[in-house]
Structure 1
């Protein structure tokens, strides 16, 4: 069955980028493996935030060089004036109605394949909306001290996970979890 999953590479202290918003240090130890390639092949759509989308030096480059040549859905409050380049496989849709609408549209076009969600803020929205089935987290062997935390703004939620897979290389560990239960905690 198709799933909605999200994943990131994080520092051991939980950051998805450094104090300057850069991610390069995190990817120095990353090595794709067979399961990564299998997940890539079963991805039918990608949902990401505007910040993640604009990390590309040239957003027109998604059509030529992005690893996921599938429809992209970009969550934003303000779509760009100039629409980025697309191709026959990769289309770009800017969604202003929220994470629920982005996931709804992505599931339709994924046509039975998985929906991958990227970006710390968007992943937090996904968890708060209880729309995620799995999460993948790869731990880079670095402590950044500052940056954007992967699991921020979830204080009112308790989320139970079950480890489903673990991959270890000489430099990092990647863990996949099934999301078993989410509940919103009472606040007073």
Structure 2
């Protein structure tokens, strides 16, 4: 059965986006593209769960096909699906899930088979952790201070979640941390 890995890039001071909502300073596509780290991540991923905000970061939703690093089924947690379905192909499909995180994770696990479900986006990661659905938490700590913006863990309900460090890896300037989520 698929395992669920929740994670994303985060600044040293705990933000996943700056005060204008941009995560550009947390991303270094040139360092990641073609790296062993990214190749392994792509290879192990069988499905992705993201929120509507993460989905909307693409100016053209049709650009996901062929351009997005994860060419797998994508499950977008949303209250309102788009009126027009974005382009899909035999590898990358979209499912807009309106009935909650448990449903999104369940559908993604079924699609992923024995591969990993990647959970992306601050709100969706928080929902996944609170619901006890994450097996691992992955944080790519970028040596940047944003000062303000969107915090990943700005939720008192995550206080009791226990973590065990299971990996540390340097990828360029980024420190990739892996934690087992203990329920």
Interval containing the TM-score (normalised by the shorter chain): over 0.9
Kindly state the Cα deviation for residue 169 of structure 1 after the two structures are TM-superposed: 4.2
2:73 equivalent in structure 1: 71
Cα distance in structure 1, aligned partners of 2:5 and 2:180: 9
Q: How many residues are paired up?
A: 181
How high is the TM-score relative to the length of structure 1? 0.90
Q: Unaligned 5+ residue runs, structure 2?
A: none
Kindly state the Cα deviation for residue 64 of structure 1 after the two structures are TM-superposed: 2.4
- Map 1:66-105 onto structure 2 (within 5 A): 66-105=68-107
Normalized per residue, the structure richer in helix is 2
1:12 equivalent in structure 2: 12
Cα distance in structure 1, aligned partners of 2:122 and 2:115: 22
Cα distance in structure 2, aligned partners of 1:36 and 1:158: 31
Distance change in 2, residues 1:154/1:37 (3 Å): farther
How high is the TM-score relative to the length of structure 2? 0.93
Q: In the alignment, does 2:158 pair up with 1:148?
A: no
Distance change in 2, residues 1:63/1:165 (3 Å): same
Following TM superposition, the consecutive aligned residue runs of length 4 or more in structure 1 with deviations greater than 4 angstroms are: none
Cα distance in structure 2, aligned partners of 1:29 and 1:61: 17
After superposition, the CA RMSD in angstroms is 1.6
Cα distance in structure 1, aligned partners of 2:114 and 2:157: 33
Question: What SS class does the counterpart of residue 31 from structure 2 fall into?
Answer: coil
